[in-house]
Every structure is written in C-alpha cells, then in structure tokens.
Amino acid sequence: MQRSKGSANERFWNRVSILGRGASLSRTDREIVARCRAALSSADRLLDVGCGTGHLTRALAPSVLSAVGIDTAAGMIERAQGAGEHHNLRFRVATVETELASDPDYSAVSCFNVLPYVADPADFLTKLGMLAGRDGSVLLVVACLGERNSLVSKLVRWAGNRGAMPECRPFKIADIQTLAIEARLSIIESMIIDESLPVVWLQYKVRERTVRKLNIPSQRIPHGV
C-alpha cells in the first residue's frame, strides 16, 4: 500500500530523526563506506536513496564527483542539511519518482537498509536501476531478517505487527537476488558484512535502461536505518 505524506510511517521516521546519528560511524557503517568507495570512482554522480540523516552520504561525498541524498522524511533531511552541505553534497526531500521525472544524470545509486520497508520492492529496485542508467551501479545494503529466527527478527516483526514501527519484510538473500533479476540488474559482488542479522552488501550493474511511463502515485521512501 502506498503511504501518503503525513502517514503514521512518515511520522515515525520524523520522530526517529531526532535520535539520528552524528558524524561517528559504526563498524558496519565503516564496512559499507569501504565497499562503496571500492565500487565508485571520482567521476561518479551518486544518488543516495533513503539517506536518513545523511551520515553515509556525507562519508561517500569526497570519493565522487557529486553526491545527492534524498529522503521522504523532512525531519531527516533537515538534520542532514543542518550538518552542512558542500560544493558536491546536497540533501533534499524527494522520491524516486520525482527524481526520475527531473531527467536525472546519475551514474550510481546507493540505498542502505531501505528495501524491506518499501511498498513494492520489485518496482522500487527497477526504478533504482532507471536512476543509475545503462551500465550504472546500484549499491544495496539489506538486513535479511528472514535468514534466521533471531531475537532481533522477532522483535522487529512484533513491533511492525503492532504498529509501533513500519512493517519490515523478512527478506532472505535469495529473495533479493530474485528481485534484482526481475529489475534487470546484474550481480557484481555480494557478501555478508554483519553476521548478527545478517546484513548483506550487494553491488549490481544495470544491464539495460528500462523506460517506463510513470503514471502511479509516488512511493514514499523511509530513511536508511
């Protein structure tokens, strides 16, 4: 189901923005940044979808020509902008649909811990590929809670079922690969970067640019957790 502006999910992410991270990166964050830097070049124009408070976007900006972080939660973007923007770093409230409608010129798209929360993951991945363009890179990080029946998985499902937080799909790694094939993305690299959930890093190349008439309502994008 599409979520509208001002929905319970949107209000949840805006409340979470108050608790957003500062400049410090966790061990998993540092691993994500290292993987992204290895996959990106100084000529890349990066779009970070569901950027949250922008701590990972900011860490990647020095490695690329330009970096834009987008999120549908205004509170997240306000915090990201409050930490400062630079000549090659910008943040704005936007959706993948509004970015596609603006005739984008990106060569790489990153999306960290967002996929389990979107309404239509297959459509969402296809649009990430469209934003990256032919031969562009799509860099994903996904917490695959369906891989094991851990305490964290149980708590997340419990909270989602009771409306305490947005519902989170319990993806398995194989589910992500199937979605990527449907979105015409070719796998370059995949690996588990955090065994506890597990958290999976995936790097894809766009096999062919998919042209699609955008005649559906905008899909709201939660922040990167």
Q: pLDDT tens digit string along 86-124?
A: 899 999 999 999 999 998 899 999 999 999 999 999 999
Is residue 165 in some structural domain? no
Place of tokens 């061990």: 27
Query: Is there a domain that residue 102 lies in?
Result: yes
Predicted pLDDT at 17: 58
Check pLDDT > 60 for residue 211. Answer: no
Angle in degrees, 0-180, between the axes of helices 8-17 and 74-82, rounded to the nearest 10: 20
Question: 215 lies in a domain?
Answer: no
Indicate whether 222 belongs to any domain. no
pLDDT tens by residue, 46-86: 999 999 999 999 999 999 999 999 999 898 899 999 988 98
pLDDT digits (tens, 9 = 90+) for 14-36: 666 556 555 678 999 999 999 99
Residue 67 lies in a domain: yes
Tally of structural domains, the chain: 1
- 48 inside domain: yes
Residue with tokens 């998919």: 210
Helix or strand holding residue 154 (H, E): helix 151-161
Task: Tell me whether residue 163 is in a domain.
Answer: no
Domain that holds residue 97: 8-142+172-206
Q: Domain with 64 in it: what CATH number?
A: 3.40.50.150
What is the model's pLDDT at position 222?
45
Rounded Cα distance, 167 and 146, in Å = 13
113 in any annotated domain? yes
Q: Which residues pair with 142 in a beta bridge?
A: 200
Q: Over the stretch 178-210, which tens digit does the pLDDT of each residue have?
A: 999 999 999 999 999 988 878 999 999 998 644
Give the percent of the chain with pLDDT over 70: 81
